[in-house]
Amino acid sequence: MIDAELTALDEKIGQLVELCQRLRAQNSELRQKLAALEDENKRLREKITKVRTRLEGLLEKLPEGNE
């Protein structure tokens, strides 16, 4: 009886260890994806800022419509 309980406990511990390993791997993968997305987000924000600056410059060069 105790042997069966110990075997069941051992199996549950094994499953828990396996789950922890999978979660750590998934967490690491998600951290890498997050870092990549943050880099992409930064790059796109910088691109938007450059485009906004160019557009503002072009708009300043346009003649006024009321003249």
CB atoms within 10 A of CB 41: 10
Position 1 scores a pLDDT of 84
Measured at the alpha carbon of residue 1, what is the angle toward residues 15 and 6, in degrees to the nearest 5?
25
CA distance 42 to 49: 11
Residue with tokens 């967490």: 27
For 8-47, write each residue's pLDDT tens digit.
999 999 999 999 999 999 999 999 999 999 999 999 999 9
Distance of CA 31 to the CA centre of its chain: 6
